[in-house]
Amino acid sequence: MTDYQILGGNYSYMIAPAWSDNRLRAPALGVFQGTSTLFSDLYVQPINLGWNTARADFTAGVGVYAPTGDFEEGADDNGGLGFWSYELFGGATYYFDAAKTWHIAGTLFYETHGEQDDTGITVGDIVTLEGGIGKSYMDGAVNVGLAYYGQWKVTDDDFGRMEEPDLEFFGRNRGFGIGPEITLPLASKSKLYGFFNLRYFWETGNRSTVEGESLVATFTFPIPSVPLQ
């Protein structure tokens, strides 16, 4: 977060390095692959703007995925995807009461991609909607509610030098998920060290992608820690 404003919105930015440790098992296809922990693609939000009103908060910005992870065509130990991706996003949170304890939120992302190194493949554009509805307790320190997401590929993939596969199976994928969510503070009597978020999703309506259940755990740590007194 910064003290600057752009178009009346509070300006912030984010840099998120990532590491991956992948395991893929598909016995029916004879696939048994895995990688050790590798540096993956870097995610950067050079522009993130936020506006606040009495009953609603708004956000908008730009994100970039840089292909910093290793990628080689046909390799089974790739740490990255081998192409640039760019996204525009905007979202809002509406509070049903003046105390801002009941809320509903949604953020829409539009993601487009560059050509993959070595293969010439270009992934189609993707639209993602995610958010939730819930209630906060302890002056906003604890949140409990229902989270959701939906994702659609809205343009066709370009398979480059590859022979185009059967689009009945490899067509524009989509997927939806919904499930409970809880956010808990990590704090002492004098300092807030961060937050722990836990979500469980049941997936439904998936097409051209796998479908199952997901458990997502996220830790967020402000630097430096936030004094509470």
Instruction: Output the pTM of the full model.
Output: 0.83
The arithmetic mean of pLDDT across residues 119-145, rounded, is 92
Distance of alpha carbon 108 from alpha carbon 87, whole angstroms: 10
DSSP codes of every residue in 170-209: HS--EEEEEEEEEEEEEE-SSEEEEEEEEEEEEEEEEESS
Of the pLDDT bands very low, low, confident and very high (cuts 50, 70, 90), residue 78 is: confident
The arithmetic mean of pLDDT across residues 196-222, rounded, is 90
The pLDDT of residue 163 is 65
Distance of alpha carbon 198 from alpha carbon 215, whole angstroms: 7
Distance of alpha carbon 163 from alpha carbon 186, whole angstroms: 51
The pLDDT of residue 128 is 96
The pLDDT of residue 210 is 81
How does the average pLDDT of the chain come out, rounded? 87
Q: Is the pLDDT of residue 92 over 90?
A: yes
H or E element at residue 168: helix 167-170
The pLDDT of residue 40 is 85
Percentage of the chain exceeding pLDDT 70: 88
Q: Is the pLDDT of residue 119 over 80?
A: yes
Q: Is the pLDDT of residue 212 over 50?
A: yes
Of the pLDDT bands very low, low, confident and very high (cuts 50, 70, 90), residue 228 is: confident
The pLDDT of residue 209 is 81
The arithmetic mean of pLDDT across residues 174-193, rounded, is 93
The pLDDT of residue 24 is 53
Q: What is the pLDDT of residues 24-68, one digit of tens each?
A: 555 444 544 555 677 888 999 999 999 999 999 999 999 999 999
Q: Is the pLDDT of residue 23 over 70?
A: no
The arithmetic mean of pLDDT across residues 13-20, rounded, is 85
Residue 81 three-state SS: coil
The pLDDT of residue 117 is 87
Residues counted in the chain = 229
Q: Is the pLDDT of residue 85 over 80?
A: yes
